[in-house]
Amino acid sequence: MTASWSRVRVVGPLESYAGGFAGELLAAGFTDLSTAEQLRLMGHLSRWLGERGMPAAALDGPTVEDYCRARREQGYTARLTPSGLGQLVGFLRGAGVVTAEAGPEADDSPDDRLVARYRRWLVEERALVEAVVAAWCKIASLFLGLHPGLSVGSAAVGTGEVTRFCVQQFPGRSSSVARNMAAGLRTFLRFLHLEGLVAGPLAQAVPAVANRQGAGLPRFVAPGVVARLLAGCDRRTCRGRRDYAILLLLARLGLRAGEVARLSIDDIDWRAGELVVHGKGNRHDRLPLPCDVGEALVGYLRRGRPKTVETRMVFVRMIAPRGPLSGPGVTWVVYSACERAGVAKFGAHRLRHTTATGVLASGGSIVEVAQVLRHSRIATSAIYAKVDFAALAPLARPWPGGVA
């Protein structure tokens, strides 16, 4: 039976690239129907370029915007923005048909150049992970957008402007988001001071956000719930083997969602029975690989992980485009497991708390909890002392008037 994508005809400037584009889509895990849809989009764009006498190399950012505008005017209801052409434009860039600067992200303003330098500083000097770098760069862009000329030194910014920004942006957000924004703003203000764009250390002008961290009890789940999550994974399927291995890493080793997502095949030392975990602050820790976790990983790598994926990351997406699973993707694996097990939904970090409380329940100490969770400070693990009921029991005084 002939595949539907092979019946799609592309004519015009992009005609010679249709076969390569289809091959890349199929290798990335796209279905036959999805590949046909992408090729029809390619054909429409190719005809549009041909009608205007434009070669494929003319497909820059403004041209993509013009095409999307024309597509909207013609009454189409899908692929109406540049992001909708991301797969196609990305392929053409990789093939060298259009330059890497093509697309709406090609803007190279002074603000963009300053944020790019800030990004490099965060990675090289502060050794922050990509998720934090991306979030703090957004805060920097937001601050620069409200103070035009600051990136070239033509705008004066003082404590009043910093306070005004905080008053505008922090209210209405959760305390954790506001604290992260405050931390990102302080860091950016320090960077501006290093760059000579502000006169003084304005980071001190960012107010502290109320922090109730540690006021409550660490939330964990019972061992029976973890067993139900694992039992709900259908290990006869590729997705089930993947989810089972992810849940074991979270529950047995107490890894964070991002650490599971960053786990590479090269990080597993099968002969030594260890794996390398890429944690916060660019830390690399070697942990023992329990037998059940190792067996789950082997089962997934041999009979679950797609063979056509080029990435070295262990866990990949099950839907196209095939690629590394993200930290939020790992959390959604836990959400799905909760739904299958019929329990109230919770996130991946709850399993990390469960690992810590399990250490205490088996007679371990707070120091051992800190070692398992790889906390750099013992004070970070002190919150788990609140649920060490065996250690707290001798401290409880008899109830007045009760039985001695």
Comparing 8-22, 62-76, 98-112, the range with the smallest average pLDDT is 98-112
269 φψ region: left (φ > 0), alpha (ψ -120 to 50), beta (else): beta
Using the 8-state DSSP alphabet, how is residue 171 labeled?
T
Catalytic residue chosen out of the listed positions 256, 305, 317, 353:
256
119 annotated active-site: no
Contact 373, 355 (CB under 8 A): yes
- Residue of 164, 120, 124 lying closest to 142 (CA atoms): 164
Residue 13 · residue 55 · CB < 8 Å? yes
Its pTM stands at 0.66
Answer yes or no: 193 catalytic: no
The active-site residue, picked from 190, 278, 280, 340, is: 280
Share of the chain above pLDDT 90, in %: 36
Residue-wise DSSP of 40-95:
HHHHHHHHHHHHTT--GGG--HHHHHHHHHHHHHTT--SS-SGGGGHHHHHHHHHT
- In 3D space, the residue among 112, 134, 136 whose CA is nearest the CA of residue 190 turns out to be 136
44 is catalytic: no
Instruction: Say which residue the tokens 């957000």 belong to.
Output: 173
- Please report, for the chain, the start and end positions of each structural domain, with discontinuous segments joined by +: 4-105, 110-205, 223-390
Look at residue 122 in the predicted model and tell me its pLDDT: 92
Q: Is 356 exposed, middle or buried (0-12, 13-18, 19+ CB in 10 A)?
A: buried
Q: For all residues of the chain together, what is the average pLDDT? A: 85
The torsion angles phi and psi of 275, rounded to 5 degrees, stand at: -140, 150
256 in active site = yes
Q: Return the SS3 of 103.
A: coil
pLDDT tens-digit profile of 50-102?
A: 888 888 888 887 888 888 888 888 888 788 888 888 888 888 888 888 765 54
pLDDT digits (tens, 9 = 90+) for 140-177: 999 998 888 888 887 788 899 999 999 998 888 888 88
CATH entry, 223-390, from 1.10.3720.10, 1.10.443.10, 1.10.287.3510, 1.10.10.10:
1.10.443.10
CB environment 341-355: b (16+ within 10 A), e (fewer):
bebeebbbbbbbbbb
**280 is an active site residue:** yes
Q: Is 1 exposed, middle or buried (0-12, 13-18, 19+ CB in 10 A)?
A: exposed
- Count the alpha carbons within 13 Å of 101 in the hemisphere toward its beta carbon: 5
Please name the residue that has the structure tokens 């990390």. 352
The catalytically annotated residue of 242, 352, 353, 374 is 352
pLDDT at 136 exceeding the cut of 50: yes
pLDDT grade for 244, boundaries at 50, 70 and 90: very high
Residues 256, 270 contacting (CB under 8 angstroms): no
| Residue 318 to residue 99: CA distance in whole angstroms | 31
> Two tokens at 148?
């035009």
Q: Return the structure tokens found at 333.
A: 């694996």
Contact of 360 with 369, CB cutoff 8 Å: yes
Write down the catalytic residue from 93, 190, 340, 349.
349
pLDDT at residue number 103: 45
Domain 110-205: give its CATH architecture: Orthogonal Bundle (1.10)
Give the integer Cα–Cα distance in Å for 60 and 89: 9
Distances (CA, A) of 403 to 44, 389, 390, 391, 398: 85, 21, 21, 22, 8
Query: Lowest mean pLDDT: which of 80-89, 215-224, 242-251, 304-313?
Result: 215-224
As a whole number of angstroms, the distance between CA 191 and CA 197 comes to: 9
Joined tokens for residue 303: 């009979």
Asked if 79 contacts 45 with a C-beta cutoff of 8 angstroms, the reply is: no
